[in-house]
Amino acid sequence: MAQKIRAEQDIYPIRLQAYMARCGVGSRRACEELIRQGRVMINNRIVREMGVKVGKDDVVQVDTETIEPAEELHYIALNKPRGYVCTNYDPNETRYARDLIDIRDNHLLFNVGRLDKDSNGLIIFTNDGDFANKMMHPRYEVEKEYIVKLDRDVVIDDLNRALKGVYIDIPKPYRIRRYDLMPRTRQFVRVTLIEGRNREIRKIFSFLGYDVKALTRIRVGCVELDELRPGEWRDLTRDEVAGLLSGRGNAPRPRRHTVKAGYDDNRD
């Protein structure tokens, strides 16, 4: 059974975007974008301005669907298999990562950060928009660690270039924070990022002349994939939630260099 954390009840009046986040619509940033697009109504009136507050008796709708704050807050770690998407709706897709989490209110869950369809590994789901907003804020610098399988042995000079940063398709450089070579083969490398922009690792290695054959996220901040198998999920502990919000546990534990049950090299 999922561990549940009781949501606060005495929250009114509350800013609209914060209310939407508590209803599991998404992070505050995502909610603000919905407001700007005119997709949010309070008491049947479209609201586009920021700063509007919601009272206890107000009715809020997003895309004409009434929303209400979740009674329980969920913080869940999922080992996303390859071939599943993190978005909650795409007319071209049929396999959604969220559907693997079999709790009653899974329709209120949304992913914190992203993993592309061809990647697998650890991703966090929640219905707590405040938590998601803090997790994705740059000042928290939450580390994400991956095992990357390349099409050939990696060259140390290339990894050092990635540490310094490479300019690819935007004015801001793509860079890794740390790397760790795995024993017996240089086709596998551990890579740690901070921002985790869209397909960042794939872009970096492609720019350096490699083809990424497999990409598995094994850690987010203080939360590790460990023995969680593809498709399995578990609740985060209270200490893990607190650690993510405080930035504790970013430094990885000493590695035994073993490939655990949760790792999947994406063989076709």
Query: Domain with 169 in it: what CATH number?
Result: 3.30.70.1560
Q: Identify the domain boundary among 21, 38, 67.
A: 67
What element of type H or E holds 124? Answer: strand 120-126
Contacts of 208 (CB under 8 A, 6+ apart): 158, 161, 162, 166
Residue 128 forms part of a structural domain: no
Residue 14 forms part of a structural domain: yes
CATH of the domain at 51: 3.10.290.10
Contacts of 4 (CB under 8 A, 6+ apart): 72, 73, 74
More confident residue, 47 or 252: 47
Model confidence, pTM: 0.76
Q: Annotated catalytic sites, by residue?
A: 116
Residue 106 forms part of a structural domain: no
The predicted-structure confidence for 122-154, as pLDDT tens digits, reads as follows 999 998 888 888 887 767 788 999 999 999 999
Helix, strand or coil, per DSSP, at residue 256: coil
- Helices marked H in 165-234: 200-207
Q: Identify the domain boundary among 29, 44, 67.
A: 67
Structure tokens at 268: 């076709």
- CA–CA gap between residue 29 and residue 24 (Å, rounded): 13
Residue 175 forms part of a structural domain: yes
The predicted-structure confidence for 42-72, as pLDDT tens digits, reads as follows 999 999 999 899 998 999 999 998 998 877 8
More confident residue, 59 or 89: 59
Residue 172 forms part of a structural domain: yes
Residue 159 forms part of a structural domain: yes
Instruction: Please give the tally of structural domains in the chain.
Output: 2
Residue 163 forms part of a structural domain: yes
Q: Would strands 53-54 and 60-62 be described as parallel, antiparallel, or unpaired?
A: unpaired
In the structure, what pLDDT confidence band is assigned to residue 258 with cuts at 50, 70 and 90? very low
Residue 236 forms part of a structural domain: no
Residue 44 sits in which domain range?
5-67
Q: Identify the domain boundary among 40, 67, 94.
A: 67
- CA–CA gap between residue 159 and residue 189 (Å, rounded): 10
